[in-house]
Amino acid sequence: MRNQIEFVVYGKYGLFTDPVTKIGGEKFTYQVPTYQALKGIVESIYWKPSITWYIDEVRVMNAIQTEVKSMRPMKYQNPANELAYYTYLREPCYQVRAHFEFNEHRPDLKQDWNEHKHHNIAKRSVERGGRRDIFLGARECQGYVEACEFGSGKSFYNQYGELSFGPMFHGFTYPDESGEDILQARLWSPTMKDGIIKFVRPEECPIVRNIKKYDRKAFILQENMQSVDEEYEQLFGKEDL
């Protein structure tokens, strides 16, 4: 597929929080990363408002194991701390395949639609471990990114068969990606086959719920956003593709 990147992301711990468990003040991780969490990782590698990243598939490399930790989070209504238990994934490691498309809901940034330059900068960013800090679901779960060939190496779930995870949070739909001034939440039911989960596109999710009114952030070339042409020239020189 055009404009595609492949990488492996790993860390000591991961926390892809099941929203249901937040109600009691404690957190319990999903068994696998959500689409939104992986999209956040990709956007930490490289992102511009003129493009939208889509996660195609993820490959679970290590066995799914959890570890419970006692935490002392701060109570917002009371300065004192309280005791809570968070359940993390231990030694998570995933191969990810993603691609970008131009954001049709931002025609004002059409001057920035140069797929070759975006793709080359994205691949360079993968090779350098990303542009911003990488987190596996939560800020305390530091992650690391390396370029890889998707499907290479041995996964714990090779020839494991199918495993369903039931209803699960897929991601948020922001106004920039929908053209409507509203924040939406999406849900779906993923199935892992031999360690690989193929994601449906956001618009294909069977359950979508409106959350709240949400304004789009304004981006203006040369004011609060650098064009891809300038960035490409800084990184690779004046030679065009």
Q: Where are the domains of the chain?
A: 4-236
pLDDT exceeds 60 at position 239: no
Q: Tell me the torsion sign for CA atoms 22, 27, 32, 37.
A: positive
Q: What is residue 180's predicted lDDT score, i.e. its pLDDT?
A: 87
In 3-state terms the chain splits into helix, strand, coil percentages (rounded to 5) of 20, 35, 40
Written as one letter, the residue type at 92 is P
Residue 107's contacts (CB-CB under 8 Å, 6 or more residues apart) are: none
Q: What is residue 224's predicted lDDT score, i.e. its pLDDT?
A: 79
Out of 8-12, 72-76, 120-124, pick the least confident: 72-76
Q: What is residue 128's predicted lDDT score, i.e. its pLDDT?
A: 95
Q: What is residue 238's predicted lDDT score, i.e. its pLDDT?
A: 67
Alpha helices in the chain (DSSP H): 35-45, 115-127, 175-178, 228-236
pLDDT exceeds 80 at position 223: no
Please give the average per-residue pLDDT across 114-131, as a whole number.
Answer: 95
Q: What is the pLDDT of residues 9-49, one digit of tens each?
A: 999 999 999 998 887 778 999 999 999 999 999 999 999 99
Alpha carbon 44 to its chain's center: 8
**CATH match for 4-236 among 3.30.70.2660, 1.10.287.90, 3.60.15.10, 3.40.50.10470:** 3.30.70.2660
